[in-house]
A = this chain, B = another copy of it.
Amino acid sequence: MSQRPSIKDIARLAGVSPSTVSRALADSPRISQATRERIRRIAQEVGYAPSLAARALVTGASPVIGVVAPSLADPYIASVMRGLEAASQEHGYQRLVASSQGDPAQELAMVQMLAGHNAAGLIILSSRVREGYTPLLEKLAMPVIFVNSLHVGDRVFNVMTDNEYGGWLATSHLLRMGHTRIAYLGGPERGRSHAARAAGYRRALEEAGLAFDPAWVIPGDGSIEAGREALHWWLNQPDPIRPTAIFCYNDLSALGLLAEAYQQGVAIPDDLSIVGFDNIPMTAISIPPLTTVEQRAEALGRYAVASLLAALATKPVTDIILRGELVPRASVKRLEAHD
């Protein structure tokens, strides 16, 4: 048996027509119990696996969900993937995963490719494409779910973390703990999440009657390295007006900051308080454990699949916005009220 067995081979062995085999395997009610079982048994014996390509061709859709992510190395993405993974598995869908390396052009190319696979639908994580999606999305015959970006279109839906709220939450927490000089370590410039978290940071400050100072928005890209550099930025600030706290775009850079602080002899949280974002697994075991904003990444993934499935069933779908909670740990110090 050098070639994979096809439905015809089974038909020959069972002495029936290919259509009967197809129906027997698909549990059609028009097939007698006896035939069904005989065919099933033979299929089992020869190790039959249906050609999904052929099936996709005739039915016009295959049971795969196309997933595009900017990177697979990011633990936050990994968590979303887990949610996607679990939820899609439960519904018998597989995933075709492509990563765009954070490059908008690549992202568009990946989407084109996945479309060519007759994917049932697309899930796009943290898109780096801002404009320029619309013409492409219109050509796509399948529904598209964006996770943590915001796009509009005919069969386009969104599932997101309320990043503005998250940024506000983190900053408010620092304010409540008595901090007034709070910096923000930013994320990837083109990402929407970064802009929203920054906006929440700004709103919290202004609500507290504090001025927003663009000089205290530290450029970064969400990497460990960016966190290390942020610590040096901090060290270079003139002492009296130095920030007492930094809210970081994500946990990864917060962790980098923590590590560098340890090496440079800066005590966290005594000299400097830190808040992260995402609540990745590592934050629970960092030293000190990191105060952060839960982002419910796994839930994000599950909701994305749920929305896609609903769209496929042409049920009504609405955009979903998830609010995380603050996870207070040990990287923030309560400051005395000075008077």
Which residues of A approach B to under 8 Å, CB–CB?
1-4, 47, 49-54, 56-57, 62, 64, 72-73, 75, 78-79, 81-82, 85, 94-99, 112-113, 115-118, 135-136, 139, 141, 224, 255-256, 258-259, 262, 281-282, 284-287
Q: A49-B112, A52-B116 are in contact. List 5 more A-B contacts (CB 8 A).
A: A2-B141, A4-B141, A53-B53, A53-B57, A95-B96
CB distance from A125 to the nearest CB of B (A): 13
Complex CA–CA separation, A124 to B332 (angstroms): 43
Which among A135, A139, A141 has the greatest number of chain B C-beta atoms within 10 A? A139
Residues of B within 8 A of A135 (CB): 47
Interface of A is mostly: helix
Stoichiometry (number of copies): 2
Interface contact A94-B98, CB-CB below 8 Å: yes
Interface contact A82-B73, CB-CB below 8 Å: yes
Q: Which residue of B lies closest to A98 (CB)?
A: B94
Which listed residue (B1, B99, B255, B286) contacts A85, Cβ 8 A?
B99
CB distance from A187 to the nearest CB of B (A): 18
Residues of B within 8 A of A62 (CB): 53
Q: List 29 A-B contacts (CB under 8 A).
A: A2-B141, A3-B141, A4-B141, A47-B135, A47-B136, A49-B116, A51-B118, A52-B116, A52-B118, A53-B62, A53-B117, A53-B118, A54-B57, A64-B96, A72-B78, A73-B75, A73-B79, A73-B281, A75-B75, A75-B78, A94-B98, A95-B98, A96-B96, A97-B97, A224-B281, A224-B284, A256-B285, A259-B284, A286-B287
Which among A2, A135, A285 has the greatest number of chain B C-beta atoms within 10 A? A285
